[in-house]
Structures are given as C-alpha cells and as structure tokens.
Amino acid sequence: MIPLAPLSLASPTPASPPTPAAPPTPGQADGRLARSFERRRAGATCGLFPYLTAGFPDVATDRALAAAALEAGVDGFEIGVPFSDPLADGATLQRANARALEGGATLDTALDLAGYIRQRAPDTPVVLMSYYNPLLQRGHRQVAADLEAVQADGVIVADLPPEEGASLHQGLAERSLALIPMLAPTSHTARVRAVAALDPAFVYCVALVGVTGARQDLSQTLGDFLGRVRAELSAPLVVGFGVATPEHVRRVAQLGAAGVIVASALADLVERSPEPVAAARAYVSSLVVAAHGRSSDDLKDQGLPEHR
C-alpha cells in the first residue's frame, strides 16, 4: 500500500474504559489465530471473518450482529475502529464510520465489542482494524494493554506501512498480540519481503486496486497476486476488499486463501434492512457455507434462505 501520513483527528468523546474479559493465558492471542487457521487447513477449507464497524448502526445492534455471526459459525471477526477520514474505505464504510462517530463511538467502543465477543466465544479470533491516528493518540503500549485486557488478538492498521510500524509491532509483541500487515496487488517484491520478515500471524491481501466496497466480480488477477505473495512468505493469506457473495467466497477459497473478510456488503445489508440482525444472520450463514465448502442444503437444514 502507498504510505500515508498520519491524519489529525479531533479529540474523541470520553468513553468509559472497556470491560476486561477473564485473565488470558500467556500467548493465547497468537494461539487463537493459529488454531483457527489450522482447523481450516486441516479441513481444506477457508475461514470466514465478517467485519463490523464498532457502534454501527448502534452499540446494541452491533452486539446482536456479533452474536448472530457467532451463531452462523464464523471463524473470527474484524472490528473496525470508527474514524473520521477512512481513506481506504468506499462510500458504504464511510457512511458506517460517520454514523458510528455521530453516535459517540470511539476506540473504546471497538474494544468493548471485542470483549463482548470474547465472553461468548473464548477461542474465536478477534482483530481490530484501525487507522493509525487513534492508536498513536492513545500510545502504542497502552493500545497493547487495552487489547490484552479484552483478549483481542491483534490489530490491522490500514495506513501504517511495515517500514514505519516497528514501535507498535514491539508493543504488541510484548503482549503476544499480532500486528497484521496489508499487501495490495501493487505491492512490490521488496514490500512483500519486508512483510515476510515480520513473521505475521496472517497477511491481509487486498483483492483489488481501489477502496473497499462490494463488487459484482472479483479481480481476474487475484490468483496471480496471491501466488506472488505466497512465493515469498508462509503466513496464512486472508483476502478482503470487494468480496460480497457466496460465489466470491468460494472462488477465494479455491485460490487457496486461508480466510476471507466480508465488510461492505454486510454493512450495506444492515443499513437497508428493516430487520438487520435476521438478515445478517442469513447472509453470513450463506458465506460460512461457501467458505467451509458445504452445500446450500446446509442452509435449508437451518431454515435459512440461500443468498446469491
């Protein structure tokens, strides 16, 4: 990705500290991610990781969406930290960020959601996705302490290139937390090797050149991109940006990715549905079926409609 300068952000509305989960076992964060990918690898299937913007459309619904996703059988979560200038995001997630911020959501809202998930799913990986400024404002070591307190597993920082992430990486590593790097189709070999040197828990592979947002089709060069990355590193590859349908998920799984993240399409559904939790449960269930290599009959057995 193109290195971006840290952006200014107005002081957030004060929020109560996140509620800690039970004391973690040393190294548990890295272990949750590794175990999740190993389960999928052993079954020759792909993990499904929904993205939820913390505080969108509101805190109560966000928690209900997380619970519905757990019921659907997801393999982990990416939780977005609301930010005023989400440069990597398209219109859908820009609206989600704006609505969450209007409701008073902050980094602490994302931490609270991570803790809520951890209380209900002790072995399900939870990774935050943030832009750099909220983390920089709080301080690297405090961010790591806060992530550890709610038993999150790490953080993705969309505008922090690996060459500038040493301090945050060290702060997280001291608490066995992961800094997840991102690679794009435009990433050159030197950047891929720099990411490999970090020995990451997984690599977020951006499926397209552009911002987030549901697409009708995946890039025809996605397989070549994943192959180029895989030639330089052994970490699990998780694909996001533009993935919207069960067919997309199946294709990503067939290309050998360890996981897939679905974000904008889910946010679109939540935004337009009169019953967002029920709609999200059915949609995420269809994605899980596709990722895990099962048939649409599994949805029928659950009494859920098949999404196309």
Q: What residues are labeled active site?
A: 78, 89
3-state secondary structure 43-98: CCCCEEEEEEECCCCCHHHHHHHHHHHHHHCCCCEEEECCCCCCCCCCHHHHHHHH
SS3 of residue 1 by DSSP: coil
Four-CA torsion 160, 161, 163, 167, nearest 10 degrees = 20
- Please list, in sequence order, all residues whose beta carbon lies within 8 angstroms of the beta carbon of residue 236, skipping any fewer than 6 positions away: 37, 201, 202, 203, 258, 259
Residue 78 · residue 86 · CB < 8 Å: no
- Please list, in sequence order, all residues whose beta carbon lies within 8 angstroms of the beta carbon of residue 224, skipping any fewer than 6 positions away: none
